[in-house]
């Protein structure tokens, strides 16, 4: 199933971003170095972009297996990303 829903998470500093990437790696997700990269794990693919000056992470799901909805993936992302925000987590849809 193709997807294109982007999620934006704000209030994430550099150390939170690096912890997030390391935690994803620990779960078996391929996360290349850098602030912009492509993620891939178990048939779910997406892009990740970090802006240190804006303290903002944008994750866009680009592909999911037919048995996994992109809504399920973004729901999980919202819950997981809360732990990396310094104070408040402001996750919202971004128009494509």
> C-alpha angle 59/65/49, rounded to 5°?
10
pTM summary value:
0.77
Q: Which residues of 61-76 are buried (b: 16+ CB within 10 A; e: fewer)?
A: bbebeeebebeebbee
pLDDT tens track for 36-70:
999 888 898 999 999 999 999 999 989 889 888 88
Indicate the burial class of 84 (C-beta count within 10 angstroms; 0-12, 13-18, 19 or more): buried
pLDDT tens track for 7-20:
899 999 999 999 98
- The CATH code of the domain at 6-87 is 3.30.310
User: 93: which strand partners?
Assistant: 7
Phi/psi at 18 (5° precision): -65, -40
Annotated domain spans of the chain: 6-87
């Amino acid at each position: 199933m193709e997807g294109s829903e982007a999620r934006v998470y704000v209030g994430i500093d550099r150390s939170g971003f690096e912890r997030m990437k390391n935690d994803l790696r620990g779960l078996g997700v391929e996360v290349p170095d850098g602030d912009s990269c492509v993620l891939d794990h178990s048939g779910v693919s997406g892009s990740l972009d970090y802006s240190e000056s804006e303290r903002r992470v944008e994750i866009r799901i680009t592909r999911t297996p037919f048995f996994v909805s992109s809504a399920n993936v973004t729901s999980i992302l919202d819950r997981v990303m809360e732990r990396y925000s310094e104070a408040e987590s402001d996750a919202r849809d971004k128009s494509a």
